Amino acid sequence: MVLSWEYAAVGVAATGLLAAAAVAAGALTRPAGALAAVFGSVIVILAGFPYLALLILFVAASSLATRYGFQEKKRRAVQEGSAGERGVDNVLAHIVLPTALVVVSASAPAVLPSALLAFLYAGAISFGAADTFASEFGVLAGRARSILTFKPVPAGTNGGISLLGELWAFVGAATTATVGFLLFDAFAAPRFSVLLLIAGVTAAGFLACQVDSVLGETLENRGYLSKGGTNLLGMLSAVLIALALARGAGVGP
């Protein structure tokens, strides 16, 4: 659904203002804010307001999670940025795939119809929330274990998981799925059964968070991937998991 020029202008203006507010609040660096405004504008123009709203809520929730217990994180040297701000690499890792999905759907709706777009997009954002919540809250657990060997590792280690982190990963994924359902329903976007969207998107986000941890331990720790690269591949796995679940439920071509 491509917006009319009037609604598109409103969407672009709102995106710019919100990105500027994120920069002013210290959630994003200036380059990251500019990048978010550009990609966010593409998303709202080509897909509509519920997609932009879900992205904005993810950014806001991520910022709050990042700032929670920030002094303790800084003491352990596991904080995001110097003051909790997120840079270009982080923004790119979390916004490229959602934007790409929107562009593909707008240019080739037969390949990626609106119903399937909504499912995959929500799955991608669900991973972002699960991964961020797991990292930002899990690092405060004090202890963690390797996702592959289950040996104790310092909290904050790539590939390290904890019960607290896993619980928050589920909360992030499930909350995104629920909010996504409510947004799509409120804006009369593609409709799904509550069970299909919430369960499917939650599963995609949570399982992809585990994939991200495996990639972190096996590839990022060895220098083959950057943090942004790990997040990007983790989000890609969420999209692929969501695609498999959607196809299994008969959503899409």
pLDDT digits 0-9 by tens, 50-88: 999 999 999 999 988 888 887 888 887 777 766 767 889
Predicted structure pTM score? 0.93
Q: Which of 131, 172, 137, 170 is nearest to 155 (CA)?
A: 137
Can you tell me the mean pLDDT for 233-245? 97
pLDDT of residue 75: 80
Distance (Å, whole) CA 170 – CA 234: 15
Q: Which token pair is 173?
A: 């994924």
User: How confident is the model over 123-142, as pLDDT tens digits?
Assistant: 999 999 999 999 999 888 77
pLDDT at 191 over 70: no
Distance (Å, whole) CA 163 – CA 154: 14
User: How confident is the model over 78-113, as pLDDT tens digits?
Assistant: 777 667 678 899 899 999 999 999 999 999 999 999
Radius of gyration of the chain (CA): 18
Strands across the sheet containing 160-161: 152-153, 144-146, 160-161
pLDDT at 252 over 70: no
What type of residue sits at position 7? Y
Q: Which of 83, 97, 64 is nearest to 235 (CA)?
A: 97
Length of the chain: 253
Lowest-confidence pick of 135-149, 161-175, 211-225:
135-149
Query: Tokens 């390290």 belong to which residue?
Result: 160
